[in-house]
Amino acid sequence: MSKDRQTAPFSPGQVADFQRDGFLGPVPILEVEEVLDLRERVDYLCQNLDSLEPELYEVEAAHTEHPEDVVCHFLGGWRVDERLRELVFDPRLTGAAAQLLEVDRLRFWHDQVFYKPAGHPGVVPWHQDYSYWTRTAPARHVTINILLDNAGEESGCLQFVPGSQEWGLLPSVGFDQPLEKIRESLLAGQEFVPRAVPVTAGSATIHHSHTLHGSGPNRSSRPRRALAFNYMCAETRVADDSAPLLRGAPHLSQGELVAGELFPVVWKAL
Ligand SMILES: O=C(O)CCC(=O)C(=O)O
């Protein structure tokens, strides 16, 4: 991949698709060897969540309480795994995020792992990412979700509602809620017409912080593992300082730049 392609990988048509729909994909990102290595790493993390938990930002409480029913989901894997840490700074990710966010400087917010074992009933209820992130402003964030396994509708690939990034902010939904919970909050004219995006291992979908998305159960006989990398514009500030933004992160004051070693600038325009 040339340097230009790393820093601005998408064609004007792809950027227009992202702007219209609020998501883009599938986008090839990782090589096969990287996928195989990351699968082992993610398996290790998921199998050792109890001991690693103090070093992570958050392990989904509903999963800890009901692992048979709720998807394994945690934040902060980059703090314990060096390869996840490298990926945070990888130009294949940062260039893509910066181009779609249209920023000169891009900052890392946090990472997430979503693991649905084979035959697991857990879903990720329809949600907008920013509904969990209102303590950081302005809302100028983007998510890159990389699949480590082939994922189609049977294994619970991501689904998006095209255009929903224009709907304003909907209530946040707990991950132990039913898949369709958010539909109770939709207004007349907010047409809920989801589009599933099947993705092969190593490819990603990229979505706007307000795009409604979710995923169904994994009915297949294979695991369905995904890594999400969340980025934001480098000028993002604290909009609510009632607690640290993430567990273990230094307390930042109201209006302060979300900066420091946990929130590095990962991309700058040449
Ligand atoms: O992988 C999933 O099913 C959910 C991912 C998600 O919500 C995200 O990447 O923002």
- Cα(265)–Cα(267) distance, rounded to whole angstroms? 6
Q: Report pLDDT for 3.
A: 42
Among positive and negative, which fits the CA dihedral 45, 244, 22, 188?
Answer: positive
Question: Cα(222)–Cα(220) distance, rounded to whole angstroms?
Answer: 5
Asked, for residue 19, whether it belongs to a domain, the answer is no
Which position has the token pair 């992130």?
Answer: 133
Q: 59 alpha carbon to ligand 1 midpoint, in Å? A: 15
Give the Å distance between the CA of 104 and the centre of ligand 1. Answer: 26
Please check whether residue 260 lies inside any domain of the structure. Answer: no
Which is the closest atom of ligand 1 to the Cα of 158?
A: 3
Asked if residue 17 is part of any domain, the answer here is no
Query: Does residue 120 belong to any structural domain of this protein?
Result: yes
Query: Given this model, what pLDDT does residue 6 score?
Result: 56
Which residues does ligand 1 sit against, CB inside 6 Å? Answer: 114, 124, 129, 143, 145, 158, 213, 215, 226, 228
Q: Tell me if 7 is assigned to some domain.
A: no
Cα of 88 from ligand 1 centre, angstroms? 17
Asked if the peptide bond before residue 26 counts as cis, ω within 30 degrees of 0, the response is yes
**Counted domains in the chain:** 1
Has residue 129 been placed in a domain? yes
Q: Which range of residues forms the domain containing residue 172?
A: 25-244
State how far the alpha carbon of 253 is from the alpha carbons of 109, 203, 212, 257, in Å. 17, 37, 30, 9
Residue 252 falls inside a structural domain: no
Q: Which residues of the chain register pLDDT less than 70?
A: 1-6
| Block residue for tokens 């890159």 | 144
Instruction: Tell if the pTM clears 0.75, that is, is over it.
Output: yes
Residue 263 placed within a domain: no
Q: What is the pLDDT of residues 165-215, one digit of tens each?
A: 999 999 999 989 999 999 999 999 999 999 999 999 999 999 999 999 999
Residue 60 sits in a domain whose CATH number is 2.60.120.620
Burial label, 166 (beta-carbon count in 10 A; 0-12, 13-18, 19+) = exposed
pLDDT of residue 270: 82
Distance 44 CA to ligand 1 centre (A): 20
Pocket test for ligand 1, best of 75, 114, 116, 182 (most atoms within 8 A of CB): 114
- Confidence at residue 4, expressed as pLDDT on a 0 to 100 scale: 44
